[in-house]
Each structure stands twice: as C-alpha cells, then as structure tokens.
A = this chain, B = another copy of it.
C-alpha cells in the first residue's frame, strides 16, 4: 500500500525508464488516453476483463442478463482496483456506457483502462469515473464484442496483464508493473524522479546536455553532493 501511494508522485515516463533498466520494454498499454483533459494520476491493482469478437448467437442484448456478464464482473471489483479491459483494440463498439461506469464509481473503482472505447461520452464523463481508452463510439459492446470472463491473463494494448499486477496511469497513458517487482520498481522510480528534477534545474541554468544527461563523473559528483546536501 505504501508502494502504491508513492507511485502517485511518479510519472509514467519515469516509470518506463526504470522498467527498461530492469529489462522490461513492453509495459505501456497502447491506445489508453485519458478521456477527460487534465485527468489526475491513478495507481491500483489490475482487475482484468476479457472480450472476444461478436457472434450473432452470443453477443445479444439478452446476454447482458447471463451470469458471465459485465454486470457480474463489476460487482466483483474490489474498492481501489483499476479495471483493465481487453477489448482487442475494437474502436467501433463501446465496452461500457454511463450506467455501468456509474456503478463502478459507486463501488469505489479507482479507474477504467481499456484498449477499446466507451460509449455515451457525455454520460460517462458525468459519472466522474477516471477513464483511459482510445476514444468513443455510439454502438453497444454486443455490436462488436462478446464478454467472456474476468480475472484472467489478458492482452490490453499489446501488453500482457495478469490479475493483481499494478497499473499506473496519467496523461501519457497506462504502464504495467509486474506484481513481483513492485517494491524494487517504486524505490528506483522515486530516486529517478529526484535525479531528473536535478537535471532539469541544471538545464534551466543553461547547462549543455552532453556530459549531463546521462552525467559524466563530474556531474555525477555534483549530483551526489546535491543529494548529500538534502536535495536542495
């Protein structure tokens, strides 16, 4: 929980640099833009949902009343989770509209992240639920997708997401941290943020980039002195 709280002060850009240094290059969920301009940063455990393509005998309005429905999935979401939805990148059928988003908001879901789209954008914005997606479309999910289950491993935006992995999402989109690496990654990310802030202050004072970013020995010493001096 401490790790999750610390993450809220880390940008997704910094986080991807830290993950790359640990050998993880494919951690940014493509096609997950904030639906609302200026949406603030959110971190949470991934609660996964999975869709497959539509089949006229399966993807029907009647299917919404089946036990394996998006409705059932929503009632299983724990408070503070981030719903991560594999919509296979489908951009012409909205996975959720205002009613489902309103219920998620009521349940305390921290955010909705999908490589697909939502529908009734005015209504969804009205619920206040933080949403990251690739856009909006009017048609219902059953026009383009069949819901098949939750808390399974999924593909969201070309990234492998397992239940309970951690998601950090801000204006640059959503980044995944494998559950097993959380503590290591957060520690490194907090330090990386401090370092980049120092670099930025040097650039503002007119420093040239070669030798500074990444730092040569002279600049590294300068930074260490800055840290030793309390980072001011």
**Interface residues, chain A, with chain B CB atoms under 8 Å away:** 11-17, 20-21, 23-28, 30, 33, 52-59, 61-62, 64-65, 69, 71-72, 74-75, 88, 91-92, 94, 97-100, 102-103, 106, 119-123, 135-140, 142-143, 146, 148-149, 152-155, 158-161, 170-173, 175, 178, 180-181, 196, 199-200, 203-204, 206, 208-210, 213-214, 216
**B16 close to A52 (CB less than 8 A):** no
**A102 close to B203 (CB less than 8 A):** yes
**B21 close to A61 (CB less than 8 A):** yes
Given contacts A53-B155, A121-B171, 9 further A-B contacts (CB under 8 A): A13-B94, A17-B140, A24-B57, A74-B209, A88-B88, A106-B203, A136-B172, A138-B172, A138-B175
**B28 close to A137 (CB less than 8 A):** yes
**Distance to closest chain B CB from A225 (angstroms):** 20
**B103 close to A208 (CB less than 8 A):** yes
Known contacts: A28-B139, A208-B75, A214-B64. The answer to whether A178 contacts B92 by CB under 8 A is: no
**Distance to closest chain B CB from A18 (angstroms):** 10
**B75 close to A209 (CB less than 8 A):** yes
Chain B positions within 8 Å of A59 at CB level: 160
Chain B positions within 8 Å of A173 at CB level: 136-138
Chain B positions within 8 Å of A200 at CB level: 98-99, 102, 123
Known contacts: A102-B203, A206-B106. The answer to whether A143 contacts B52 by CB under 8 A is: no
Chain B positions within 8 Å of A15 at CB level: 138
Chain B positions within 8 Å of A136 at CB level: 171-173
Chain B positions within 8 Å of A122 at CB level: 11, 170-171
Docked pose: A28 CA to B119 CA in angstroms = 12
